[in-house]
Chains A and B, each alone.
Chain A
Amino acid sequence: AQSVTQPDIHITVSEGASLELRCNYSYGATPYLFWYVQSPGQGLQLLLKYFSGDTLVQGIKGFEAEFKRSQSSFNLRKPSVHWSDAAEYFCAVGNKNTDKLIFGTGTRLQVFP
């Protein structure tokens, strides 16, 4: 069965520190992978996506993610976190045939000044 695991429910970092949010997936075929961000009371905004090609993907707001097939991972990184990055982050998996997305349970990021 397809699934996405985000092991970290809650992460706290200081402003300016680096960030890595973990995502592991279980998928039978070549996955399409996504990271979304959700601010309180808001919908989801796409940060970045991976379909094929270069395994290091650049996104908006200075985020990047690396697809590692051998580890079934798609971790999200940012070299220097800003206070405005505080939000809930969701990893999701899809495939080439459908727009249906399977989401992880999310990681809540808190940023201290």
Chain B
Amino acid sequence: DAGVTQSPTHLIKTRGQQVTLRCSPKSGHDTVSWYQQALGQGPQFIFQYYEEEERQRGNFPDRFSGHQFPNYSSELNVNALLLGDSALYLCASSLGGGDTEAFFGQGTRLTVV
């Protein structure tokens, strides 16, 4: 079992550009959550996808959007990048429901210059 895989591992973008990050959940998991972890901070919840729909959303602007595919994999899109979007973006997968363990990927390190 490959666990949660994220791609790419690192990328550098310019202010104003758009970026897409990808996540493949752990085998058998149907729920994907995305978190932003700024340097020196704890992860902040962006949103969660279940059955190809956004089920919950954190306090992030509409520039942050996502998608879940029928195979449960997911994308995080960020438009009009700002310097403050530089962070480690973590994907977590789970079976849904709070009493299950969320498994995290290694993250994508996004640097906006």
User: Which residues on A are within 8 Å of B, measured CB to CB?
Assistant: 4, 32, 36, 41-46, 49, 51, 90, 92, 94-106
Check B48–A45 contact: CB distance below 8 A.
Answer: no
A97/B97 in contact, CB under 8 A: yes
Complex interface: chain B residues within 8 A of A103 (CB): 35, 42-44
B66 interfacial contact with A, CB 8 Å: no
Q: Are B33 and A43 in contact (CB under 8 A)?
A: no
Q: How many residues of B contact A (CB 8 A)?
A: 30
Instruction: Tell whether, in the assembled complex, residue B101 and residue A90 are in contact, meaning their CB atoms are under 8 Å apart.
Output: no
Residue of A nearest to B93 (CB): A99
Report A-chain residues with C-beta under 8 Å of the C-beta of B102. Answer: 46, 99, 101
Q: Is B98 touching A98 in the complex (CB atoms < 8 A)?
A: yes
Measured CB to CB, the residues of B under 8 A from A are 4, 31, 33, 35, 40-45, 48, 55-56, 58, 90, 92, 94, 96-107, 109
Tally of A-B Cβ pairs under 8 angstroms = 72
CB-nearest residue of chain A to B58: A100
Contact A44-B90, Cβ < 8 Å, known A100-B48, A103-B42, A106-B42: yes
Name the residue on A nearest B55 (C-beta). Answer: A98
Q: In the bound complex, do residue B107 and residue A100 qualify as a contact, i.e. CB atoms below 8 Å apart?
A: no
Q: Which interface residue of B4, B31, B99 has the most chain A CB atoms within 10 A?
A: B99
Contact between chains at A99 and B97 (CB < 8 Å): yes
User: Given the interface contacts A94-B98, A96-B99, A100-B48, does A44 sit within 8 Å of B43 by beta carbon?
Assistant: yes
Pick the contact of A99 from B41, B44, B98 — CB < 8 Å?
A: B98
In the assembled complex, the Cα of A32 lies from the Cα of B103 at a distance in Å of: 16
Please give, as numbers and ranges, the residues of chain A lying within 8 Å of B106 by CB-CB distance: 41-43
Contact A98 B43 (CB under 8 A): no
Which chain A residue has the least Cβ–Cβ distance from B90?
Answer: A43
Inter-subunit contact B97/A104 (CB<8 Å): no
